[in-house]
Structure 1
């Protein structure tokens, strides 16, 4: 049965149980006890049948859960004629499973909305025109049009003069790379420049992206299932319950006492309090932009000891920014930036757009450029206020002003230089880099306060870039130049130390997210594959949400445990009273209801969790890549 069918079944079972209980009470109060028994029994049997099937499935997997206690109490109550008690137990049990299903269903709906933007078609040249086709219909040799902003659908060779693609989701490189005619572009990369043609080299199912998807599937299959908090208490509580029930029957000779014990023992504090507290925790986390896909991930999130962070788009902003302006003459920094930004208004290149944004943030007024000519992947030439301006790579500008390119040698690792020349004279360079998100250091300190003992960086970028970016952060390790399968190996090795959380945003992070105990994806701008593979999605582009997310998870779990301990303690007292003959099955069911109300009220405190970790901080040249090697190691 699919997940939707399972959710509908749980809803139907709850409605039947409630209807049977209510209608039975109506006939009982009207003096029709026999008809009331029929309605109570009719409400119990569907829930009991579903419960028995679930128990058999669990036992076939070698799992012993709380379902057995609930099944025993309902069965014993029906056998010995205590149908009202059985009906109350059926309502309590089906209500608990419905709450869990409701929480997980809401998370799935939000995820489907998040991923609905993923393209499923490609544009192919055919008979002098263009046609949109499903990805599965792409064949080797097909000529595809990749528009600006499109995701490359299959591995292929660039058929245009040049192409600029953003491979950050695949390789961790934060700045776009230039591919010349004949160079191979990997599926999953994004066209960051003008439209270009691509000749498909292999079908979609055999492309780089498909290989990463297979890694995700393998990682999820090898991942140990998350055990629910309730199940970890189940075996001990089951043994205590059965022992007290049989002892009561053995000593008194009255089977009704055993039924009363089982009814009181129905683990409703576990069945109800745990999902209520965790559902409240899920709701509270979502309020702060942290979408957790169910109670299991939330429980595990509360026990995380090791955190592995991706770099580009996760620890860093993922978008180039100007970090300094190097002057070559008396021209002021603002003038260099203003003239460069004015010309770059005519370009859609990500670096050009970053230059324009930087100028506007300084309040600079940008004139409209004229006679603009853009050289794809190299630079822009045009007139600004009657002056001839050239903006682009250092080599591109140097060749046009008659000087030797040499400034790049002094560029910091991971940076790119944008040269600016006015009227044939080099006036300076804009130094651009992908900086750390604001407040990163404070966020890491907050994570350590929340019990995260070990924090590592795992990136596909170069080692010198990774080390420069993370300098001074106090990380426990930096692993650079990693392919997707190597990230998975890192996660698996770290899991030997304790539960591991992996945070990433790119396609290359998806397998590691699936392999981790808790995978966290940057959903606001991250790749759909990573969001699909993750257990947690940050719906806002703020990695500092991790700290309140973990704090909420820990608080919700703590409240759930408190509710369980208090509820089970009261239940044990009630079981002893029932064993001594002081409670009938119906009285035991009513006592259990009172206990349920108390533990549920306590569990609802999770709705008022107020993370102290919240802060007002706002988060926010192309490097050569051996694309062939990257593709080989991924696939």
Structure 2
């Protein structure tokens, strides 16, 4: 998406909100007609004027009927056939056969039901809407003449921005001055704010709770993390779940059954009022209300916990997962190497080796360099500013620290910079899955730093929880060496471990695992994107993963916590179960009521009241998917 597209997306949302506001106002006005008509007619009836009461009820039903007919025509033009037709038929039939009170009750229930459904929908998607509403439109940029407010889409990489207290970070960037105290709860679900000092990389979309700080933009707004989240939320809200589409199909069948039962009741009894009562009981259908509300509630609840599911279809598919394929690096493991040991040669100390290496690595953005800097700072080591640095990508870095020549990188890279002083003891072997960073100081081999990529804490409990959620098959698939994969998987409840896999072989593995049921692939790297796309559900570690994996995935974890996989499965299964439960219960009650009406046991007015009770119960039950009921 280009930068102007972000602006167009925001403008489109503003237009949609204005149209939605007008629609809400119109529906409120429509609701006033049956309310006033029923109240006025009731007073007239009590005063002994039944004819005037009937006239009041009829007059206030007609505007609602007209509004409903306009909605039906619009739906038919879009190729959609719904049970609003039954509502129109029941009101029309009631008016034709002088059941004006029943017509007015149906009108009130229809208009009131529209408000109830709209309220439930807003509550169900409020967490997703909160993500969209936080999109910052402007920001302050440092310029030679001073601070200037500019549009967010005008920010370029390298721009220095001031983030004031209360501002939302507009782009991904690096803190350059001050301390950032950020609330990331909307993005990640983490309740406590986090502090970021100078040099820390932060994502867009977080609220500044502390004092103002400066941020150097790393990328444009359209390419930042929050813009990607906004695109995913837009996509999720526009999508229609297979269950919802199936509900549309069942609604047509239900409409046909309703008309047939109403016609049969009239034909057998000769009483048209029975047909009216049948139509009234069937207005509207819980099938159309329960499914979208329950699924959207599930999407919103997941978003609140930092799990972005791309639509109701993905939520349904997630609920049926029976096998999971995990990538290793950055998924089951932390993905960021951690220092295991610092080894120093004679004449040097471990503290000096780490201090010199970390000081020089301040000039590099490599993940290993960042690890050394963070570890040194965590140990309270004071770092010096590097000078005359020169980096060879993938090999190492050389430069000057406090007047001393320092080289950091692979063993061969460091030796190549030692000149005639090449005698050095080879560094010790790294831990399984780890690596060794060699360090030279003043043309002497000074020592080595051993690092490893550790298994995420609580991984064993996570796998056990997945088994409890009904996942029967757990597979570890990695492009790393087999020895590393076996070491990581040791002691874990994993059914199959495969190593040395190319992206193509990961795709083949996903396809093969389908014999055990629907498959989910969990990964974070560019090499995982094909497998994520090939799986029934692809789940990307979006907090630190690649943009390619997030785009290919159906579910994106906005927080770097693997336990949210279990949460996502639980939410999906609960939401789908609640939707089905609401549909079955609502339809069953409606059918019972329709049969009773066909036998003359329920009057049209009683039928209208009964159906509204059913609709309210169905909607409230569907809202349980929010996890708050």
Q: TM-score, normalised by structure 2?
A: 0.66
* Cα distance in 1, alignment partners of residues 88 and 268 from structure 2: 22
* Cα distance in 2, alignment partners of residues 469 and 344 from structure 1: 28
| Per-residue CA distance 1:105-126 (angstroms, 9 max, x = gap) | 9748847979999xxxxxxxxx
Native 8 Å contact 1:284 1:609 kept in 2: no
Task: Specify the SS of the correspondent of 1:416.
Answer: strand
Q: Determine if the alignment matches structure 1 residue 71 to structure 2 residue 54.
A: no
* Cα distance in 2, alignment partners of residues 382 and 524 from structure 1: 32
State the partner residue of 1:131: none
Shift in Å, 1:459: 4.3
State the partner residue of 2:437: 418
* Cα distance in 1, alignment partners of residues 365 and 512 from structure 2: 43
In the TM superposition, 1:425-464 aligns within 5 A as 425-461=444-480
* Cα distance in 1, alignment partners of residues 409 and 370 from structure 2: 13
Structure 2 alignment gaps of length 5 or more: 1-8, 41-52, 96-101, 139-153, 160-235
Shift in Å, 1:395: 1.1
Task: Specify the SS of the correspondent of 2:563.
Answer: helix
1:20 to 17, 25, 30: 30
State the partner residue of 1:304: 321
1:259 to 270, 273, 276: 276
Q: Determine if the alignment matches structure 1 residue 374 to structure 2 residue 427.
A: no
Shift in Å, 1:573: 3.1
* Cα distance in 2, alignment partners of residues 380 and 508 from structure 1: 27
* Cα distance in 1, alignment partners of residues 415 and 383 from structure 2: 25
C-alpha distance 367-70 of structure 1, shift in aligned 2 (>3 A): closer
Task: Specify the SS of the correspondent of 1:420.
Answer: strand
In the TM superposition, 1:90-109 aligns within 5 A as 92=113, 96=117, 107=128
Shift in Å, 1:420: 2.2
2:62 to 38, 43, 47: 38
Shift in Å, 1:252: 1.5
1:365 to 367, 381, 384: 381
- Calculate the aligned-residue CA RMSD, in Å: 4.4
Native 8 Å contact 1:418 1:429 kept in 2: yes
Between 1:80-89 and 1:3-12, the stretch displaced more is 3-12
* Cα distance in 1, alignment partners of residues 570 and 107 from structure 2: 39
C-alpha distance 424-68 of structure 1, shift in aligned 2 (>3 A): closer
Native 8 Å contact 1:346 1:372 kept in 2: no
* Cα distance in 1, alignment partners of residues 77 and 127 from structure 2: 25
C-alpha distance 444-564 of structure 1, shift in aligned 2 (>3 A): same
Native 8 Å contact 1:20 1:41 kept in 2: no
C-alpha distance 519-246 of structure 1, shift in aligned 2 (>3 A): farther
Shift in Å, 1:39: 0.6
Shift in Å, 1:355: 0.8
Query: Which structure has more RCO (C-alpha within 8 Å, separation ≥ 6)?
Result: 1
Shift in Å, 1:544: 1.6
* Cα distance in 2, alignment partners of residues 281 and 331 from structure 1: 58
* Cα distance in 2, alignment partners of residues 106 and 310 from structure 1: 29
Structure 1 alignment gaps of length 5 or more: 58-66, 118-133, 135-145, 149-219, 611-635
State the partner residue of 1:344: 361
Q: Determine if the alignment matches structure 1 residue 396 to structure 2 residue 410.
A: no
Native 8 Å contact 2:241 2:312 kept in 1: no
C-alpha distance 595-336 of structure 1, shift in aligned 2 (>3 A): same
State the partner residue of 2:180: none
| Per-residue CA distance 1:478-537 (angstroms, 9 max, x = gap) | 455555565455444444543332323334444543443333232323333433443322
* Cα distance in 2, alignment partners of residues 425 and 579 from structure 1: 97
State the partner residue of 2:617: 598
In the TM superposition, 1:137-536 aligns within 5 A as 226-228=242-244, 230=247, 241=258, 244-266=261-283, 268-329=285-346, 333-361=350-378, 363-368=379-384, 373-377=389-393, 378-381=395-398, 389-401=406-418, 402-403=421-422, 407=426, 410-411=429-430, 414-461=433-480, 465-480=484-499, 487-536=506-555
| Per-residue CA distance 1:271-301 (angstroms, 9 max, x = gap) | 3334443333333322221223333333332
* Cα distance in 2, alignment partners of residues 27 and 529 from structure 1: 58
Aligned length: 501
* Cα distance in 1, alignment partners of residues 591 and 415 from structure 2: 83
Native 8 Å contact 2:61 2:107 kept in 1: no
* Cα distance in 1, alignment partners of residues 444 and 249 from structure 2: 73
Native 8 Å contact 2:280 2:608 kept in 1: yes
* Cα distance in 2, alignment partners of residues 385 and 20 from structure 1: 78
Between 1:576-585 and 1:419-428, the stretch displaced more is 419-428
C-alpha distance 505-260 of structure 1, shift in aligned 2 (>3 A): farther
